[in-house]
Chains A and B, each alone.
Chain A
Amino acid sequence: MKRLITVLLILLVPPFILMGIAGMGGNGDDETDYVPRKQDPMYQDASVDHSKFEELQKDFNNAHEVTKACLSCHTERGKEVMSNAHWNWERDAHIKGRGVTYLGKKNLINNFCTGIAGSEGTCTRCHIGYGWEDKSFDFNDQSNIDCLVCHDNSGTYRKAKGAAGYPYPSIDLGFVAQSVGSPKKENCGICHFFSAGGNNVKNGALDKALLNTTKDVDVHMAKDGADMACVECHITEKHQMKGKYYGVSSMDRNRATCTNCHGARPHEDNLLNEHTIKVACQTCHIPRYAKANPTKTRWDWSTATKLDEDGKPYSIDNDEGQHEYLSIKGSFEWGQNLKPDYIWFNGTADHYLLSDEIDETPVQINTLKGKYSDEDAKIWPVKIHKGKQPYDKKYNRLVQMKLWDEEKGQGALWKDFNWALSIEKGMEYIGLPYSGDYGFISTEMTLPLSHMVSPADQSVKCEECHTRSNSRLAKLEDFYMPGRDYNAALDTMGSILIILSLIGVVIHATLRAVSASSRKKASANK
């Protein structure tokens, strides 16, 4: 018997302690074997020095000539580029209830600068082409491709303002052409950091700070870390980039994923690996967004077009130097170091189309699909951008105003400050009816977060979700989560049972004591 107990003790106690100690250690380092390009000898010396090519050693008269020079060697690349979304600003997508659609920046509306229709001349500064001024742009002319905006490694190439994608005339195109290479952070960032009119405005985790940052801000792109370039995750073959932006994308395909490098079970702790069935990596590993610079959280177009005493547009800045008001765009709210919102997301999305009727307020500019019972859905962190923008009160649709034109008098909001006219012009350009009766309506846009991943030790802690008060996931109510959820009736019943048993014990004990002492007295009296 003694031996049995000894054996049991040996069996029970040490594993208990060992498992506990081992569990305390956390997840260890999840360093991967990946060698970032900056440290990979294969990428140190280019196999080709473009400055040695005669085709590029000349003064180019215009940007199209550079493209032709590129294509004279890279003969089939033009076709590749023309099939990607950076060129077409639309994708074919099958959306449940809509069938096959062709959606993208070309035809969708959002609640930042809204849409490009009628204002292409300024918006296409971020198109990888030359000359998209209006509907007449030729998407089949390969010489319209702008190779340099992505491949310039000299840092001297810039597209001009309001020039439909053409570079500043002062740029030495020959020099740029001779210094091309694989896209760097700067090449992607010039559009993706500054989308919606300013740094970090739109996404909240795509910020010029990523050009020179620390691990605290972005563990992948930090100068003191792997210093990775965008294309190391957004792997591109034949000019087809992995990854998508659900402001314009709809389907779960060709996405850039964490698991591509980190694998499906990256944690040492199995309990954490199990979480990945229902929780996206981003949810725990992006605890905050807009960590380095503020991002726009609200954009109210309804206050736009106010002019000062001299009839001039003006701006009001907040203490941190961000615009609070702009005559051309309305009023803004900003936020920094924000906690994300959380949604179920299965990788598919629907979008508000300009031909849709409004059926809910706030109008959902894009709808990310998913719920707990959906096998493909995971909890994702998102930025929700709130907007207030014009709509047609009679037809009950969002409207697209014409924002920009080179000259006054063409109905552009940013030149003429006339809402009625700019909407009329915008809708006329698109070819949709407009009643003339406009108002402003609340809208929301949902932007999944995938950038600015924090170091492992800063990831979201268990308690931040598994808690009854202020759970990060408080709004996701379609499932039971330990620590957050309980059945009120069961808990009340259980508590009552406990209280009753305690009361019973106390009463019983008191009666025993009283009866014992009275017995004592009685026997003493005898």
Chain B
Amino acid sequence: MKKQVYLYYRFERFWHWAQAILILFLGFTGFEIHGSLDIFGFEAAVKWHNIAAWAFIVLIVFAIFWHLTTNAWKQYLPTAKNLKAQMEFYVTGIFRNTPHPTKKTILSKLNPLQRLVYLGLKVLVIPVMVVSGLFYMFYRYPQSGDIETINISGLENIALVHTLGAFLLVVFVIVHLYLITTGHTVTSNLKAMITGYEEIEEEDADEEAEEEVRKHDIPV
């Protein structure tokens, strides 16, 4: 028996898609500043990259607030349980049509691999990008002038760290876009992130909890 379960809350979905758009936009403008692309022109790319960066920072502030106040941050706690099984699933099981080793529930939406990767993004890659990005925006050359901010002798190290992060994010986006096709059906994960509902095995569902959650549209 399968059942429609409400998995992704409205804010969560908004946050996800806003972040997706911003990361893509930052990627294109950023790689234009880097000299790899020629789409907007350097000047416009810089301008829009900076604006998008501020929008992203605002979004991050709200996302952090949401994760903390709703306990949703616990979704990202790494676990060794099923980690090996999940890896085996992607390497072999998926070709034999074996079922997903990790069951999605409202209390645990992420498989152990997702937990690791998303946690890495949240505590490592994105903070590094934000911090190096802010340095990039606000650093000044060593100078004795009237503009007082941080004096850094050059842009090179900041730029290299920021570029490395950008490459990692591109790789993440590619792999992420592919892996969302590995749900029950090719589009079931995508649909879930758009509508909030996903079909999961009824035996895993806790009807009461879900009903409660859906009513208030808040995570557990």
Contacts and interface: CB of A to CB of B under 8 A. Distances in A.
Interface in B92-107: 94-97
A462 B154 CA distance: 19
Contacts of A491: 36, 163
A516 interface: yes
B178 A509 contact: yes
A52 B140 CA distance: 60
Contacts of A463: 41-43
A20 B170 contact: no
A362 to B, nearest CB: 30
A73 interface: no
B84 interface: no
Nearest to A18: B51
Interface stretch (A8-16, A132-140, A416-424): A8-16
Interface in A269-296: 271, 274, 277-278
Given A12-B58, A494-B163, A502-B174, A483 B95 contact: no
B167 A497 contact: yes
A265 B210 CA distance: 59
A8 B167 CA distance: 29
Interface residues of B, number: 56
B141 A483 contact: no
Contact of A373 (B46, B54, B142, B146): B142
Contacts of B47: 20, 23-24
Contacts, number: 136
A243 to B, nearest CB: 22
B33 interface: yes
Given A20-B47, A277-B147, A487 B142 contact: no
A511 B180 CA distance: 16
Nearest to B9: A1
B217 interface: yes
A375 B160 contact: no
A239 interface: no
Given A2-B10, A19-B51, A20-B51, A484 B35 contact: yes
B48 interface: yes
A143 to B, nearest CB: 47
Interface string B175-210: 100100110000000000000000000000000000
Interface in B15-71: 18, 33-36, 41-44, 46-48, 51-52, 54-55, 58-59, 62
Contacts of B14: 5, 8
A235 interface: no
Contacts of B54: 15, 19
A375 B144 contact: yes
B171 A497 contact: yes
B126 interface: no
A19 B153 CA distance: 29
Contacts of B170: 494, 498
14 contacts: A12-B55, A15-B51, A20-B47, A277-B147, A463-B41, A466-B35, A482-B35, A483-B42, A485-B159, A490-B160, A490-B163, A490-B164, A494-B170, A495-B167
